[in-house]
Homo-oligomer: A and B are copies of this chain.
């Protein structure tokens, strides 16, 4: 049976939350099947190197640091933060040719460390821009990381088809059946798919209604999601009871979220999530409660289904398995089609 596409490699992926990497540790993470060591120089700059000494392939993350220099744990070769070998203790101490470690382009932005794994030159104009995440009060934003034993596209499918929330999740984010009948409005570019749903429900979603003037009354709501290749989905959701207001995040009670998925392997994914709300923005306790609740919902509600899909599908290709597709699949299917095209293009096919 046809198997899954390879990954798009000339693209930015979230390597880590900015807070996962600090100046004290050497942080190992496998990204697109490649071992990466992440750390911060004494200036605070985050660096990503291939976590493989070119000599005998020992992981540098098992070694030690001397200021910004990494020391291989096995035979003591030293590499600076550019990946250049700066010391060879052996023989005449000559630095051998080819003795360097690949440094991956890494950019810190909006609370994430974005990495470029491909061989093509990193496209600095393409660094994801999710500035709203970090534009508000520090107590209005939360970040979290989840490890999911499923292919990253299954996670993207999950977010692109928000109709699942009334079925998989609890009362707290229910649309009371109002979302599923709505066909989303779609717009596309080469590397983006945007979908928008609008509806009315009573009361509004329970994560939002408590902040509306009349919590128990009807409210107009919307979802806006934009997938940007390869694996970022920005989601905005809002509710308003002002009949004259435009249905947008600026004029409603809502939140601005980012879901971003970084393949570890074909069957495992680093799943990052960030959310910024536009209400009770200075409430640290609520902020901590909310990100934990969302983390837990992903882990206990989405996670088991996604991992069950992975087991059932193994590495077969979704379309090759001839799924029965419905109106709610339009956004994830468009997304997958764009991704296939981009991957084929990258591979010169």
Closest Cβ of chain B to A98, distance in Å, is 5
Residue pairs across A and B with Cβ atoms less than 8 A apart, 16 shown, are: A52-B312, A54-B324, A57-B313, A58-B305, A59-B308, A59-B312, A74-B168, A74-B305, A75-B163, A76-B163, A89-B167, A89-B181, A91-B183, A91-B326, A96-B325, A98-B322
Question: Which residues from chain B contact A58 at a C-beta distance below 8 Å?
Answer: 305, 308-309, 312
In the bound assembly, the distance between CA atoms of A312 and B312 in angstroms comes to 28
Query: How many copies are assembled?
Result: 3
In contact, A166 and B76 (Cβ under 8 angstroms):
yes
In contact, A328 and B62 (Cβ under 8 angstroms):
no
With A72-B167, A167-B74, A180-B76 as known contacts, state yes or no: A328 contacts B57, CB within 8 Å.
no
In chain A, positions 60-102 with a C-beta closer than 8 Å to chain B are 62, 71-76, 88-93, 96-99
Interface residues of A (CB under 8 A from B): 35, 52, 54-59, 62, 71-76, 88-93, 96-99, 157, 161, 163-164, 166-168, 177, 180-181, 183, 304-305, 308-309, 312-313, 321-329
In the bound assembly, the distance between CA atoms of A91 and B346 in angstroms comes to 35
Closest Cβ of chain B to A311, distance in Å, is 9
In contact, B55 and A323 (Cβ under 8 angstroms):
yes
Question: Which residues from chain B contact A74 at a C-beta distance below 8 Å?
Answer: 164, 167-168, 305
Closest Cβ of chain B to A43, distance in Å, is 27
In contact, B91 and A181 (Cβ under 8 angstroms):
yes
In contact, A73 and B167 (Cβ under 8 angstroms):
yes
Q: Which residue of B lies closest to A309 (CB)?
A: B57
In contact, B166 and A328 (Cβ under 8 angstroms):
no
Closest Cβ of chain B to A291, distance in Å, is 24
Q: Which residue of B lies closest to A28 (CB)?
A: B308
Closest Cβ of chain B to A41, distance in Å, is 23
In the A-B complex, the 4 residue pairs with the closest CB atoms:
A91-B327, A76-B167, A89-B180, A90-B328
In contact, B323 and A54 (Cβ under 8 angstroms):
yes
Question: Which residues from chain B contact A324 at a C-beta distance below 8 Å?
Answer: 54-55, 96-99
Question: Which residues from chain B contact A323 at a C-beta distance below 8 Å?
Answer: 54-57
With A57-B323, A75-B163, A324-B99 as known contacts, state yes or no: A177 contacts B89, CB within 8 Å.
yes
In contact, A326 and B180 (Cβ under 8 angstroms):
no
In contact, A90 and B181 (Cβ under 8 angstroms):
yes
In contact, A328 and B75 (Cβ under 8 angstroms):
yes
In contact, B90 and A180 (Cβ under 8 angstroms):
yes
In contact, B326 and A96 (Cβ under 8 angstroms):
yes
Closest Cβ of chain B to A22, distance in Å, is 23
